[in-house]
């Protein structure tokens, strides 16, 4: 594997996923012939998909004819985890006129060094539902009321329905991870000729 800290080995294109606290580096090469980096500035502007005001702005530097984006670990450690919509903007240095040349999505993922639960939401929910089902025999009260406040628990049928839903979600997540890492899935068909 090449040294990814070296600008010459920086991956080309905006990554699909980055991690909080990591050194992030990539380069954009496709616009260099039309927008010389000596006459233009390129920025990646990303806004969190939940509609909040969280924004990430990264300004590229010139690297030969390409635009090089580099974010130190100290900076990315302050990023908010989530899915972001981004746009690549090119600004003409002479008069600050700007155009958008590309748009897409990027995911900012958590750093597991920060003592967070690394499981996906579906895995967490499946675990909780299964633990409720295991304890259901001990405390099968479906509803109760205390001082005018009442609480109704999910019934077994509803819990089983949710468990099946989250099992399917977990299986899809695991399948995607196996495909991403080049491993076989249950749908892999082997043949011999």
- Strands 98-109 and 17-19, by their bridges, are parallel
pLDDT attached to residue 193: 76
- What is the pLDDT tens value at each position of the chain, 193 positions in all? 566 677 778 999 999 999 999 999 999 999 989 999 999 999 999 999 988 889 999 999 999 999 999 999 999 999 998 999 999 999 999 998 999 999 999 999 888 776 677 788 888 888 888 888 887 655 555 665 667 776 677 778 888 899 999 999 999 988 888 887 788 777 767 677 7
| N- to C-terminal Cα separation, the chain | 34
Q: What's the predicted TM-score (pTM) here?
A: 0.65
CB count, 10 Å around CB of 56? Answer: 20
pLDDT attached to residue 138: 54
CB 36 within 8 A of CB 110: no
CB 54 within 8 A of CB 80: yes
The candidate with the shortest Cα–Cα distance to 83, out of 106, 63, 67, 103, is 106
């Amino acid at each position: 594997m090449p040294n990814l800290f070296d600008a010459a080995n920086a991956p080309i294109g905006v990554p699909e996923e980055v991690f909080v606290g990591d050194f992030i580096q990539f380069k954009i090469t496709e616009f260099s012939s039309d927008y010389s980096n000596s006459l233009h500035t390129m920025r990646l502007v990303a806004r969190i998909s939940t509609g909040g005001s969280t924004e990430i702005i990264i300004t590229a530097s010139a690297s030969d004819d390409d635009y090089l984006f580099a974010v130190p670990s100290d900076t990315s450690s302050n990023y908010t985890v989530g899915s972001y919509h981004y746009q690549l903007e090119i600004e003409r240095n002479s008069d600050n006129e700007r155009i958008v040349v590309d748009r897409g999505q990027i995911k900012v993922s958590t750093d597991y060094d920060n003592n967070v639960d690394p499981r996906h939401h579906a895995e967490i929910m499946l675990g909780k539902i299964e633990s409720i089902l295991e304890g259901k025999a001990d405390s099968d009260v479906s509803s109760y009321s205390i001082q005018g406040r009442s609480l109704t628990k999910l019934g077994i049928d509803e819990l089983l329905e949710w468990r099946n839903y989250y099992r399917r979600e977990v299986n899809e997540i695991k399948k995607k991870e196996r495909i991403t890492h080049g491993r076989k899935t249950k749908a892999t068909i082997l043949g011999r000729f």
